[in-house]
Structure 1
Amino acid sequence: MITGYKGESKDVKIPSKLRGKNVTQIDGSAFEDSDITSIEIGDKITYIGMSAFRGCKSLKTVKLGKSILNIDEGCFNDCTSLEAITLPKSLEKLGGSIFAGCTALKNVDLEDGGNFVIKDGVLLSADMKTLYFALPYAKLGNYTCPSEVETINPLAFFNCPTLTGFTFSDKVKSIPQGMFVLCTGLKELYIPDSVTQIGSVIITKSGVKTVTIPSSVKVIDKNAFIQSDGTNDKDLVIRAKAGSKAETFAKENSIKIEYTK
């Protein structure tokens, strides 16, 4: 396992073997905030840890090995010089928000025959049942979730200011943690009848001022609508039916409520 980097070279190659042993993993935060400009990852590497290259602001070129199975959450966060990357077909699992803050990123390619697809600037599983995340350069506008989507990953639309509207698939049952954080262009949120659970901090630092919640929702995280200072948005309005879980939640948290029929 590669646990850190103290070398002077800014062009780094991670070998398949080191001191006679196979190198199969890059540990979380291993290269975090380093000044490397390129990284080439050997073909024995199967796992890249959480925030492994986070904050590598000079990192412009990344070549991923052909055996990578899992890239963990926030791996390339804030790599502000990264312009393009190709994800190998070996990849099976992706963490949330791996390209957040990659302001120069213009293209993410997928090798043919892999487990993922990109549609309308959003990365999904090949069967379209799981929505992973929107790409930083996506021009989302009023986005409609593909009808096949059943699961949405945490932080799926983190810092997507171009998102102005969102329509859920009627197969989605849970709103994940941090789904619309920093979506400043999103003003309203309509949750469908298929949803039964709402996770934490779903609209923190977003533009959302109205959330319509159906009676199907039975679980709402206590921090679902808190802002960065830990308080609920004083201008937020929850639209819900009398007697619903949403009504109870709004009253318990001093959130304005507008009743629906």
Structure 2
Amino acid sequence: MKKILCALLACMLCASVSIGFSGCGCSNNSSQEPGYRVTATEPDLTNDEFGFFILNKDEVMVTKYTGSGKDIKIPESYENYKVTVIGRSLFNGNDISSVEIPDTVKEIQDYAFSSNRNLKSVKLPKNLESIGTNAFFNCPSLESIELPATLKEISVYAFSAAGFKSVTIPESKTLTKLDRFVFYQCQELTDVYLPATITSIADDTFDDCPNKITIHAPKSSYAANYAKTHNFEFKEVK
């Protein structure tokens, strides 16, 4: 309980404090390459629904939502810029029901969709590489999600307190570990499908999940051994 209260307080603090660069989203280091992290302040570009922060000459990050709809479709481009990043806390605490993210997006930053208690449907991009800390924290209506094989990182608390009943980690050359508290306090979680390509799982990845969890994995995999040493049920998959 203390951990989830801490996460909630951090989420509130994140929404109320703005730290970062002013004006254009580009770093003052002109040698930076696309894909580097920035913390946005005010958008450089806006339309009727979104604010966009310029990352470089080709890419923007979505940093603000000003629409009123509950079913969100994020555009893949705006004014000749490609949308590649979903910004920090973009929909934090909003009352949205579904979101469709275009395949141009490679990064979802911290708290992007956290505390959306009615969020039921999420379509992740096929080229997604990173899901940030607490990105889908406290989304109890989110019962399932399809994770792409392009993922490189799922950060701590990314899906904590989500409504998943089962979760499947895709076989991937780039995603080989599950970080701490990724599925912490998932109240409905009972089945986890893990490929042989997962070679590291934190001891507390599934902490405080009340149901008995069955791990489905290849017989001689790291996940199979993890299930046995952490008192999970185990079912072999081929």
Shorter-chain TM-score: what band? 0.5 to 0.7
The verdict on how the C-alpha distance between 1:139 and 1:108 changes in structure 2, with shifts beyond 3 A counting, is farther
Residue in structure 1 matched with residue 25 of structure 2 by the alignment:
90
Match status 1:203 vs 2:186: no
In the TM superposition, what is the alpha-carbon distance from 1:174 to its structure 2 partner?
3.1
Offset from partner CA, 1:177-207 (integer Å, 9 cap, x none)? 1111111x22110000013111011111212
Measure how far apart 1:154 and its partner are. Answer: 1.6
Shift of 1:176: 1.9
- Rate the CA distance shift 1:242–1:181 in 2: closer, same or farther, 3 A: same
Say if 2:167 is the partner of 1:226: no
> Secondary structure in 2 aligned to 1:251?
helix
- In the alignment, which residue of structure 1 is the partner of 2:130? 151
Distance 1:167 1:219 in 2: 21
CA positional deviation for 1:166:
0.6
CA distance in 2, matches of 1:204, 1:108: 33
Alignment of 1:180-191 (within 5 A): 180-183=159-162, 185-191=163-169
CA drift of 1:173 comes to 2.8
2:85 corresponds to:
125
Distance apart, 1:239 and its partner CA: 0.8
Pick the structure with greater CA Rg: 1
Q: Is the 8 A contact 1:234 1:255 kept in 2?
A: no
Gaps of 5+ in 1: 1-49, 71-87, 96-106
Pick one of 13, 16, 29 that aligns with 1:54.
13
Aligned to 2:171: 193
**Matches of 1:108 and 1:208 in 2, distance apart?**
34
Higher strand share: 1
- In structure 2, the CA distance between the partners of 1:160 and 1:93, relative to structure 1 (3 Å rule), is farther
Q: Could you tell me which residue of structure 2 aligns to residue 37 of structure 1?
A: none
1:69 aligns with 2:21: yes
Find the residue that maps to 1:168 and give its secondary structure: coil
Question: Secondary structure at the residue paired with 2:125?
Answer: coil
Q: Deviations over 1:12-41 (max 9, x none)?
A: xxxxxxxxxxxxxxxxxxxxxxxxxxxxxx
CA distance, structure 2, for counterparts of residue 241 and residue 143 of structure 1: 28
- In structure 2, the residue matched to 1:104 is none
Displacement after TM superposition at 1:162 (Å): 2.7
CA displacement 1:73-131 (0-9 Å, x = unmatched):
xxxxxxxxxxxxxxx75385349xxxxxxxxxxx984246463127647x961751111
Asked if 1:241 corresponds to 2:218, the answer is yes
Q: Greater share of helix residues, 1 or 2?
A: 2
Query: How far, CA to CA, are the matches of 1:138 and 1:124 in structure 2?
Result: 26
The Cα shift of 1:234 comes to 5.4
Amino acid at match of 1:187: K
Does residue 161 (structure 1) correspond to residue 140 (structure 2)? The answer is: yes
- RMSD value, Cα: 3.8
* Partner Cα separation in structure 2 for residue 68 and residue 161 of structure 1: 31
**Is the 8 Å Cα contact of residues 158 and 182 (structure 2) preserved in structure 1?**
yes
Distance 1:52 1:155 in 2: 8
* 1:110 pairs with 2:51: yes
Residues 50, 62 of structure 2: 8 Å contact kept = no
Q: Is the 8 A contact 1:144 1:168 kept in 2?
A: no
Closer/same/farther in 2, CA of residues 171 and 138 from structure 1, 3 Å limit:
farther
Q: Give the AA of the match of 1:235.
A: K
Rounded Cα–Cα distance in structure 2 between residues aligned with 1:188 and 1:176: 19
Distance 1:197 1:257, change over 3 A: same
